[in-house]
Every structure is written in structure tokens, then in C-alpha cells.
Amino acid sequence: MKILLKNARVISPSQGLDEVIDLLIVDGKIEKLGDIEETKDFQVYDMSGKIISPGFIDMHVHLREPGFEHKETIETGIEAGANGGFTGLCCMPNTEPPMDEPSVVEYVKKRASKSLDGMIEVYPIGAVTKKREGRELAPIAELVEAGVVGFSDDGNPVQDSGVMRKAFEYISMFDRVIIQHCEDKTLTQNGMANEGYWSTLLGLPPYPDISEEIILYRDLRLIQYLKPKIKKVKYHIAHISSKSSIELLRKFKNEGLNITAEVTPHHLLLTDEDIWRSSYDTNLKVNPPLKSREDIESLVEALKDGTIDVIATDHAPHAPEEKEADFASAPFGIIGLETAVGLILSEFVNKGVISIHRMIELFAVNPRKILGLPQVKIAEGEIANLTLLDPNSEWIVDAKKFKSKSRNSPFIGWKLKGKPLGVINKGKVYWSDL
């Protein structure tokens, strides 16, 4: 297959590349960059006004399979990722059974290889502890051999400090990142909304934001304490959400610790007040909960100055009947694979909050750095692993166009400017239907 992309703005921050050129792909590899004359055996696409970047990776996705196929399957999650502009997905281990054994990792990889002909790469995240119970380390070496790129107990943070120390010491031997959901669960039992004015007005059990800060501080101090002994600890904060956590992250980063963080689009755009405005829309029930306008301002500043390294979705599909329950009964979580790129283009790039280069770093460059994956190069002879963007397309988020099995998104009906156009990887093209 010969694909010619004409007049595209090709941006690759890790290469210092930003140029309007033609790009020819032959049998999955970049054959030529430059001024290319069309021939009749090329599939030609006019990319005038469009952007080509290294393929985007979502570092935080729940594909639900095995165990919760009524919410999402590996196949539907992969297609949602492609539709949303991602060529890579990191799937979290809170499946049933959890990804605490090599056999489960191998199952996920095998299923992923059969979805969309394997064009979307799925990177499993292994459990830190057996059954994600926080008591005994999972078989770390065997999980690494099976192909996990990192470790997390996801929604079950490792509460025991002794176990967390062992995790740092052991996982660092394999140069893998630990991804922590920071929540002191002794403080958040039954919590549903950020503790403050709006949780009181709503009559919802409070979820204090200090619970995130306490676990984060514990972990950072452990890393600091272990630093003379362990040089390779890699620690990543999932869905950071509060001003106080940002202040901690900034402080310890400045001390030279190898720590990184991600933020979700919903924590950048929505507040706890929106639960009131929406009359208890269960699609606003997330963990960590939506915070205040002041927290959002701190997150945005950290996004701009480099304190935050990654934008990830925390794509958490649920069946319609689960989210159609009352607020107290509904599960935490929203989907995000098919809205994230459009939201960031529309609300941050096109409004001048961050540059398109910074966006590509957050979605494509930094995830690969953190996960220890090779950077995608847009150069002759390299595999074409690309995300295609249309920064000027105006559209309305329409659930009917989602490929995800679930529809639990608070962004349905939003009018956006900028969207994913498609992805190219492994010699295959997927055009977005959004």
C-alpha cells in the first residue's frame, strides 16, 4: 500500500520538526518526506491545514476485559482509541481476574493483536500486589517477562508503607514505572464529592482532597529516603487533581526525584459545582472527585510550566443501567478515549493556553519517555506510527458516533473546534468517525 499525505504540517517535538511537507508511506514505512509528485498507484489525501504527529498514547485506560465485558471489551476499547486518535493504549489491571499473573497479561495481548488487525498497540500495566489487595507483591519478574510496561494497583492504592517500600525496591530492579492512584481510603470511605461548600449543599458524603496529598507525600518521602540506595525508582502519579498535590509534586521534582504525573481532561475542565448545575449528573461522579476552580487553575498552570507531564483519559466505561442509577449508587468513572484529543485542541490549544507542540509532548512524547518505549520518529525509513489532527474542524460530541461500548460521558453535546482525523500504524489507516 502506498499512501501519500499532501501538504501536511508535520510536527515532531523530539526531533525539532515543524514543517509543511508531503509524506509518502509505502508498506507501513515512511518512504519519503518532501515535495512528492503524485502517481496513479498512490492513495492520495490532501492534508492542507491538517497536522501529522507521532502516534498518541493514552497511559490510563480501562479496557475491562477479562471480567467486565458488559462495560467494554478489548475490541471496542481499541476501536474507541483509534476513533479518538490514539495508536497506543495502556490498560489498567483492575480486571477479573486482575493482571497479577502472566496468563492474564498474555490473554490481553492476544486479544489485542486480533482487534483492528493489531494496528493499535496495547501496553498492559501489571498489578503491584496479588489481587490488588496491597498485602503481598505480585510476581513482578514474571509479569515483566510477560510484557507489562509498568505496575499499578490502580483504584486500590498501596496503603501499607512497608509493602510500598518493597515495591519500590523490587520494581526498580526491572526499570519499570509504578503508577499510583493516590488516595488514603481511611479518609474517603463512602465519599462521593470533593469536601467543601458544594458537597455540603448537595448533601453528598465528603471526599477530602487531603487523602490524595497524604498518600502522595508518603510515597515521595519513601522515594527520597530510598534514593541513596535505589537510583532507578520511577514513580508516576495517576490523575492528579488538587492544588496541594501540585505543590508537593513541584517541590519534589525540583529536588531531582524521578517522578511524573498525568492529568485528565475532565479534571482540567469540570468542577464540583458542575454536579449542582447538572442536577446530580452521575457522569460527573469520578475518582478522584472533581475539584474547585482554584484547583483547576493550579492544574492548568502545572500543565503549562511542565510540572505535569502527561494528559491521560482514565477511560472508565460503565453499562448504561449502572450510570442511570441515583448518584449514591452509580459507580465512579467516565469514558474519555473519544473526547480527549478534541477537548484539548478546542479548549487549550485553540484558545492559546498551550501550544500544539506542548500538546504533542503531553500525548505522544512524554508517555513514551515514562514507559521506556522508543520515541516515534517521523523520518525516512521509520515505521509510520502517526496521529492525524484537524485543528479547525468544528463538531458536536455525539455519543452515536462513539465506538466504545459505553456512553458515560459528561461532554456529550459540547461544541468543539479541533478533532482527531485518524491514525496510521503498521501499514493500516483508520479514519475517525467523530
Q: What is the pLDDT of residues 355-404, one digit of tens each?
A: 999 999 999 999 999 999 999 999 999 999 999 999 999 999 999 999 99
> Is 314 assigned a catalytic role?
yes
Last residue of a domain, one of 371, 392, 415: 371
pLDDT of residue 39: 87
pLDDT of residue 1: 83
Within-domain flag for 31:
yes
**Domain check: are 171 and 298 in the same one?**
yes
**Is pLDDT at 40 greater than 90 in this prediction?**
no
**Domain check: are 248 and 301 in the same one?**
yes
Question: Which position among 154, 209, 272, 314 bears the catalytic label?
Answer: 314
Q: Give the three-class secondary structure for 354.
A: coil
Within-domain flag for 152:
yes
**Domain check: are 366 and 404 in the same one?**
no
Tally of structural domains, the chain: 2
**Domain check: are 339 and 403 in the same one?**
no
Higher model confidence: residue 40 or residue 51? Answer: 51
**Domain check: are 114 and 70 in the same one?**
yes
Higher model confidence: residue 62 or residue 256? Answer: 62
pLDDT of residue 232: 87
Contacts of 208 (CB under 8 A, 6+ apart): 187, 188, 191, 195
Provide the grid cell at 280: 446530580
Phi and psi (nearest 5°) for 286? -135, 165
pLDDT tens digits for range 167-201: 999 999 999 999 999 999 999 999 999 999 999 99
Provide the grid cell at 388: 492525524
pLDDT of residue 243: 98
**Is pLDDT at 115 greater than 90 in this prediction?**
yes
**Domain check: are 159 and 293 in the same one?**
yes
C-alpha 277/C-alpha 272 separation (Å) is 9
274 exposure class (CB count in 10 Å sphere: 0-12, 13-18, 19+): middle
User: What's the first-to-final CA gap in the chain, in angstroms?
Assistant: 25
Partner residues linked to 260 by β-bridges: 236
Q: What is the CATH number of the domain that holds 10?
A: 2.30.40.10
- Domain assignment of residue 39, given as a range: 2-51+381-431
pLDDT tens digits for range 408-428: 999 999 999 999 999 999 999
Q: pLDDT band at residue 95, thresholds of 50, 70 and 90?
A: very high
Let me know: does 82 contact 118? Beta carbons within 8 Å: no
C-alpha 337/C-alpha 78 separation (Å) is 9
**Domain check: are 47 and 69 in the same one?**
no
Provide the grid cell at 174: 526491572
Q: What is the CATH number of the domain that holds 304?
A: 3.20.20.140
Last residue of a domain, one of 371, 393, 421: 371
